[in-house]
Amino acid sequence: MKIDLHMHTTMSDGAFTPKQVIDMAYQNGVKYMSISDHDTIESYNEELFQYAESKGIKLIPAVEISTKTDKVGIHVLGYNYDLKNQEFRDRLYQIRNARHIYLHEVGEKLAELGYKLNVEELDKIDAVTKAHISLDIINCKENQELLLKNFGHIPNKGEFIEAVMNENCPAYVRKTSVTPKEAAEIIRAAGGKVVLAHPVAYAHEDNLTEEDIQKIVDSMNPDGIEANYIYVDSSNQMFNEVEKWRKFAEKNHKFVTCGSDFHNRDGIRPEIGFVNVDFSLTDEEIEEIVKNLI
């Protein structure tokens, strides 16, 4: 028996559709699974639950919420929430589309100031930033007269941002973002269980110390820790630090979960159910994980 509670589909940044992911889970002997797309639960519908059930798979609803601390981005997993909770869906939409909502709101303020901004083209940029917006303004010939009037010269992107777009400036808009604690509150308000995703990744990717991660845990107070996770870095080096993070979870009186973080078949990272790496859980451990989530 296998379990995998962290994988992605074409609804976020995965390579396979929800049904294809279920097919692969079935082929790999997975009995319990979750699709945890980034900031969206659009994979889930009645048809998908029925499809999973037809394969003998228990599908547990999940989501991976993008959050920010002062230092780095942190991912927070939510499980077994109320799929019909509209407020939950609305908050996820705001988080997922924060950059584009920001673009449109800034565009309105810049238009009021007399600047022309090509919002339609900028909207095509997935991770649109202040720099993209500023460059579009200063490179547009229709803005040159107004820029010369306001600055005395054509400013560079940094000058424009500092004078027009930053806090206390005329086109300032606060970008929507959430902290790990806020994400935990959003998940709990929808009746879900909160899990800190892959702490091993923050240690290797972002150079966070165990003390840094402890502060995050103290702040958000998750129900669980994704300790059963095999990390592969940008040099394709694999790290199995499961025991370390299991002990961390135990020390904090948190249950543990298990996830491959599957996106695609690259022959390097863990595949669904960890079938291609030296890692497994006993049936008793699997049942304990499921019991804690449902």
Candidate from 22-31, 58-67, 92-101, 148-157 with smallest mean pLDDT: 92-101
Question: The tokens of 196 are what?
Answer: 């800190």
Query: What value does the mean pLDDT of the chain take?
Result: 94
pLDDT at residue 176, as a whole number: 75
Name the domain boundary from 165, 183, 206: 165
Counting residues of the chain whose pLDDT is more than 70, the rounded percentage is 99
For residue 108, tell me if it sits in a domain.
yes
Task: Provide CB contacts within 8 A for 237, sequence distance 6+.
Answer: none
From the number of C-beta atoms within 10 Å of its C-beta (0-12, 13-18, 19+), residue 81 rates as buried
For 126-142, write each residue's pLDDT tens digit: 768 888 999 999 999 99
Counting residues of the chain whose pLDDT is more than 90, the rounded percentage is 82
CATH number for the domain including 221?
3.20.20.140
> Are residues 153 and 198 located together in one domain of the fold?
no
Helix (H) or strand (E) holding 224: strand 224-228
Name the domain boundary from 113, 147, 165: 165
pLDDT at residue 127, as a whole number: 65
For 82-127, write each residue's pLDDT tens digit: 999 999 999 999 888 888 899 999 999 999 999 999 999 999 887 6
CA–chain centroid gap for 229, Å, is 16
> Are residues 22 and 62 located together in one domain of the fold?
yes
pLDDT at residue 1, as a whole number: 86
d(C-alpha 251, C-alpha 239), whole Å:
21
Contact 95, 69 (CB under 8 A): no
> Are residues 12 and 76 located together in one domain of the fold?
yes
> Are residues 67 and 197 located together in one domain of the fold?
yes
> Are residues 198 and 266 located together in one domain of the fold?
yes
The CA-based angle 42-52-95, given to 5 degrees, is 20
Helix (H) or strand (E) holding 231: strand 230-232
> Are residues 59 and 199 located together in one domain of the fold?
yes
pLDDT at residue 234, as a whole number: 79
Higher pLDDT, 234 or 64: 64
| Structural domain harbouring 69 | 2-80+192-293
Higher pLDDT, 177 or 112: 112
| Residue 217 binned pLDDT confidence (cut-offs 50, 70, 90) | very high
Give a three-class secondary structure readout of 119-172: HHHHCCCCCCCHHHHHHHHHHCHHHHHHHHHHHCCCCCHHHHHHHHHCCCCCCC
Contact 285, 294 (CB under 8 A): no
